[in-house]
Structure 1
Amino acid sequence: MAYAVTQACCNDASCVSVCPVNCIHPTPEEREFGSTEMVHIDPRICIDCGACADACPVDAVKPIDLLRGPEEAYAALNAAWYDGTEPQEWGPPHFPAAPPAGARDLRVAVVGTGPSAGYAAQALVTAGVRVTMVERLSEAGGLIRFGVAPDHPGTRRIGSRFAALREHPRVKTRLGVEVGRDVTHQQLLRDHDAVLYAVGASDHRRLDVPGEELPGVVPARRLVGWYNGHPDAPRSVPLDTERAVVAGVGNVALDVARVLLTDPDRLAGTDIARPALAALRDSRIREVVLLGRRGPEHAAYSNSEMLELEHHPDLDVVRTEEPLADLPPAERPRVVLAFSSTLAAIEGEGRAERVRLVRPTGPETLEAGLVVPAIGFRGAPVPGLPFDDATGTVPHEAGRVVGGAAERAYVVGWIKRGPSGGIGANRQCAEETVATLLADVAALSARR
């Protein structure tokens, strides 16, 4: 009974390091690792030991014989990844490099408590470093707590790993402390040997179309924060409309569409914010139109996210190249995928009421009282650090901040590499930055 990796895969490769027969690929050392949605188990080699399932932080690895419903497709998806390849030979064991001398005497401040901060703190603690995690909000968790859809409990489960880490005797957590408001970089350096920033991408990319500032236009970042209870999110979202238009076809866009159309009774068993759940019970939205500027082959959503949407019990999925106004009325809630469609303007008297589109069939006007830009996130400047406005990142060399006055500053996650990659991508990113930090300390100690 071989195992298979399923939708919830966070791609942090925890399973790769424990597999005794090297049957999980791509590994972090392989070129494909940065471009695949998930890792895959080769059923030809799997010896059914279950080590990968035990190591998986999000319970994404399951025996093939136990897959049910939409998850059954993952048996074939895992096997298909190896089509035309020869079974891999066992690779040499990988042992992490020993921390440099003096690491156990270090104190490092990690700004943020999301996944990139968690992986960085994990690597630092493993090296014996004492860590202070600094979070501007009154609740820890970052992207895992406030960015993952509430109906994805498997993905959220990785948060328990980082919560346990924050209880480690060498880790302290300071909540409600914002760098630039409550404390400066230099002040952090008084008590720490270095400061590592894991602040994510806290802004959103703009559509730059007329009407973008109208009430009823709610960027995906803010809407996701609304249904997850983020303290900075809007208190309400306009749901008094039969149609919502989402500009974008990435995973966040699919999350938004799914949450807006899921039966609230189903959402009641999740961690969704209770005010949002109450509002969704009174929602009039019956259709969510997702706009992709290019064809479906360029869509940014993952196969697993689309599989979940297509098998959702509460809604239908429709793809169309015809004029949207020609779609027949739906008997139940639906998601409409409209590719090769450009949002040209948002119009309305005092609020968003309709959108003007440019589609292969010609210009169209579509009624919509809720418009959600979901075309990506963007990093915001960090007080005291240099900032590249073109990329929305902090300039760095392997995680070490360069080009500014801030000393002993390091970055990890989206503020380092831009808003790309899922939760698991932060593991390798963090390990690179921590390796740089520890090497800098070793070099400094050698010169003393």
Structure 2
Amino acid sequence: MTSSRPLSVALVGAGPAGIYAADILSKSGLDVSIDLFERMPAPFGLVRYGVAPDHPRIKQIIVALYKILQRGDIRLVGNVEVGKDISLEEMQKHYDAVIISTGSDRDAPLNIPGVDLPGSYGGSEFVSWYDGHPDVPRTWPLDAEQVAVVGVGNVALDVARMLTKHPEDLLPTEIPDNVAEGLRSNKVTDVHVFGRRGPAQVKFTPLELRELGQVPDVDVIVYDEDFDFDEGSEEAIRASNQTKQVVKTLIDWTLKEEEDLTASRRIHLHFLHRPVEILGDGQVEALRTERTELTGDGNVRGTGEYVETPVQAVYRAVGYFSSPVPGVPFDEVRGVIPNIEGRILGADGEWMPGLYATGWVKRGPVGLIGSTKSDARQTIGHLVADAEADLLRARTDDADQVGHDAMLAALESAGVRYTTWEGWELLDAFEHELGAQAADGPRDRVKVVDRNTMTAISRGEEHDGRLY
């Protein structure tokens, strides 16, 4: 880095990981110019496209992220996909360092027979549909009356809740019109959620679980035979107040009397069931599970007893998985970019100077916002040290080709319709206005789903009014 210009850094991915890393870098004391690239026309990543619309408290995270970008010292460059609109190699000509913060955007694999049958869906695909992601179909098949959800994390609960919640109870949220329309035709009566371990090992948060029991006209049913606690379970309950609250809520539900179960839709929580096969002849017809038993340490083993639950659809919610970024090494087994504390490693196991990773694409899809912040601090700490050691340089000898202006010129030359923070504010205002004018009553916002319309609004261009 020359003393005549600031360090020029690009981040790829404008979700919480990228925004927090940019914020920490901006306050590091370095003389630094920061550009934040996002393949969507809108920022905020999974907070916008991975959180159920009836979770406004979680979506308040957007308020904090909004305030960071609103300052103006971190420039947003949206609707730009690295590897498609611009190569990593070209990006490295314009920036001294590149941080990959693309998160996890697809489902972790569930390797059981029948997983590819029609009617077997990735949970993240369904989440993307009801959250109005521009890159997924506008319709969703909701003709199954009995459904299985595999997984015992918050995404599994979101999927189960959204499948059973009546559309009129979602109208006050920001769901797009096509999602509301699709949910009106939903035929579901029963959703079965399966986890292979016991009640003390589930990954639900207490708040998410309690909310499940408050959905209008939906009963939550648990089964006495699915409850078992070994020493590992008791230790987990003693060690974690969160686990204790989850177990208490589940036990309380076992005390419900049958005559109290009067709702038109039901969510069944099954523990100690390991999914082994999705059954069907050309279409999902049932999920086969093996009963498991605890082994004393909180883990389980199979019992050889099998159960078949008739269902017409299976949703896999066993975790998220990252996608590779062209030009960046990727571990296809673990679903992460090979790195040491955020420094990206090449095929030879050595650091690739100027390349960093942060967030789920760095460490895997675990942890909440607090983990994302501490993760970013680690990566940025190494970047700052490398900059101070004069190890970071753009791959060009022409100083005029380094940084924001040169990058935008390259995008314009390539005909890329990129968007900016000011463009996001235009789109944000447009969505709020749609919400205010909603036919079913005022809402905070209604999402625009169509990518071309999102881009046109953000760029101040004429558009045909197509919202989805």
Q: TM-score, normalised by structure 2?
A: 0.69
Letter of the 1:346 counterpart: I
Aligned to 1:110: 11
Higher RCO structure, 1 or 2 (CA under 8 Å, sep 6+): 2
Offset of residue 252 of structure 1? 0.5
Distance 1:139 1:329, change over 3 A: same
Question: Is 1:416 matched up with 2:365?
Answer: no
Deviations 1:263-311 (A, max 9, x none): 2112111112321221111211121110001111111111221122123
RMSD: 2.7
Question: What amino acid maps onto 1:116 in structure 2?
Answer: A
In the TM superposition, residue 446 of structure 1 has moved relative to its aligned partner by 11
Picking from 252, 263, 269, the partner of 2:155 is 252
Change (3 A) 1:234 1:216: farther
The alpha-carbon deviation at position 103 of structure 1 amounts to 12
What per-residue deviation string (whole Å, max 9, x for no partner) do you get for residues 100-150 of structure 1? 997981221010011101101111222353211111122222111000111
What does residue 167 of structure 2 align with? 264
| 1:416 Cα offset (Å) | 0.6
The answer as to whether partners of 1:129 and 1:170 remain within 8 angstroms in 2 is no
The answer to whether 1:349 aligns with 2:281 is yes
Q: C-alpha distance in 1, partners of 2:323/2:289?
A: 30
Deviations along 1:391-432, whole A, 9 cap, x unmatched? Answer: 211122221112348430000000111110013321111111
Q: Distance in 2 between matches of 1:207 and 1:383?
A: 25
Q: Which moved more, 1:429-438 or 1:351-360?
A: 351-360
Residue 134 of structure 2 aligns to a residue whose secondary structure is coil
Question: CA 1:446–1:362 in structure 2 vs 1: closer, same or farther (change >3 Å)?
Answer: closer
Structure 1, unmatched stretches of 5+, are 1-99
Q: Distance in 2 between matches of 1:214 and 1:328?
A: 36
1:148-297 alignment, distance < 5 Å = 148-297=51-200
Residue 363 of structure 1 pairs with residue 332 of structure 2: no
Structure with the higher fraction of residues in helix conformation = 2
Give % identity.
37
Paired with 2:130 and 2:167, the residues of 1 have a C-alpha distance of 12
Structure 2 stretches lacking a partner, 5+ long: 227-257, 293-303, 394-468
Matched, 1:393 2:325: no
Is the 1:223–1:234 contact (alpha carbons within 8 Å) kept by the matching residues of 2? no
The count of residues paired between Structure 1 and Structure 2 equals: 346
Secondary structure in structure 2 of the residue aligned to 1:144? helix
- Change in 2 beyond 3 A, CA 1:224/1:445: closer
Letter in 1 for 2:144: T
Q: 1:430 to 1:102 in 2, by over 3 A?
A: farther
Report the CA distance shift for 1:295/1:327 in structure 2 as closer, same or farther (over 3 A).
farther
Give the match for residue 378 of structure 1.
Answer: 321
More off after superposition, 363-372 vs 407-416: 363-372
**TM-score, normalisation: structure 1:** 0.72
Q: Are the counterparts in 2 of residues 346 and 354 from structure 1 also a CA contact under 8 Å? A: yes
1:444 and 2:390 aligned? yes
